Amino acid sequence: MILAQMFGSSALVWDGSQMVPAALGPKLKSKSRTRSSVLAVGDGVEVERDAEGALSIVSIAPRRTSLERAGGEGREPQVVAANAEQAVIVTSAAEPPFRPGLVDRWALLAHRGGISPMLCLNKMDLATRDEAERMIADAAIPLPYVLVSAKTDSGIPELKETLRGITSVLVGHSGVGKSSLLRRIIPEEQIVTGALSEKSGKGRHTTSSARLYSLPEGGLVIDTPGVRSVALGGTISTSEVASVFPEIQDAPPCRFSSCTHRMEPGCSVLAGVQAGAIPENVYARYRKLLLEVIAP
Ligand code: GDP
Ligand code: ZN
């Protein structure tokens, strides 16, 4: 079964055909009191049924992927979603304006966690297709993308197609229309059911308040409503930052294997920028992201 939602020490799990309530078993309960990311939405869990028929979660399968944010000063990273294969980075064509730097940050977290990022550009009722495609090309965003409008439903079938049969996690900054999109792809009764269990659920919400939904076409979607910004930090390496930018990742080796591509002699990335092979705006975003990681 798959952990779909947590409310303190009770949870909903997806059994492959429906959401069922389950409690945390005693061992997990005491563990999760001291560690925030013992369980994350999307985790594969093993459940046991007691004499009264109530389910409890007794163990967690090893995670295949995890979307993690830095936990802040001295705190462990927060696992926002487990086992997603795809991260759908929701942005908008306008209101708020498209910001490539934010896409980079989500893409970095996705890459680190073993998740394939893709871009979903919403609010296409506010821009033409040409404008949107130019925006993505100018920013040299190397991700597959879909252009959608939650308002007019255009592009929604394509978005559904990219979600079919796999587990996706939806991320995005406030205001881009992520909740509106979710309502377009998830059957209404699922959204209502969750709201009810949330009310009856005792105890505090766990840190992320992420939630897993199943799609009628097959496939699972993890929404992360509590996660409105990317928290970087911890132990992100130069090469992980470079992995966001194919032009930089695929540059020939530099003189120093530990090159950060900022000022080192014999840097092939700096040479590539000079020669025009690496677009300046891409390099500028690499530097910005790297500085944030080095000195968050
Ligand atoms: P979230 O913060 O990302 O969950 O965004 P919401 O779904 O709450 O939407 C933020 C605002 O954008 C709301 O006023 C929505 O009505 C609006 N909005 C969402 N999707 C679209 C869209 O496709 N087109 C337009 N024009 N507005 C949208
Ligand atoms: Zn270099």
Q: pLDDT for 248-283, tens place per residue?
A: 999 999 999 999 999 999 999 999 999 999 999 999
Say if domain 66-223 classifies as CATH 3.40.50.720: no
Collect residues with CB below 5 Å from ion ligand 2: 254, 259, 261, 267, 269
For domain 2-60, give the fold. OB fold (Dihydrolipoamide Acetyltransferase, E2P) (2.40.50)
Atom 20 of ligand 1, residue of closest alpha carbon:
177
pLDDT, tens only, 172-226: 988 999 999 999 999 877 776 555 455 544 444 444 479 999 999 999 999 988 6
pTM (two decimals)? 0.91
HSE toward the beta carbon, residue 151, CA cutoff 13 A: 11
Q: What percent of the chain has pLDDT over 70?
A: 91
Candidate from 89, 95, 98, 180 with most ligand 1 atoms within 8 A of CB, to mutate: 180
**C-alpha 170 to ligand 2 mean position (Å):** 33
∠ CA 242-246-252, rounded to 5°: 80
238-293: CATH, from 1.20.210.10, 1.10.3720.10, 1.10.40.50, 1.10.10.10: 1.10.40.50
Q: Where are the beta strands (DSSP E) in the chain?
A: 2-7, 10-14, 19-24, 45-49, 55-60, 66-69, 78-82, 86-92, 116-122, 145-147, 167-172, 211-214, 220-223
Q: Which atom of ligand 1 is nearest to the CA of 149?
A: 23
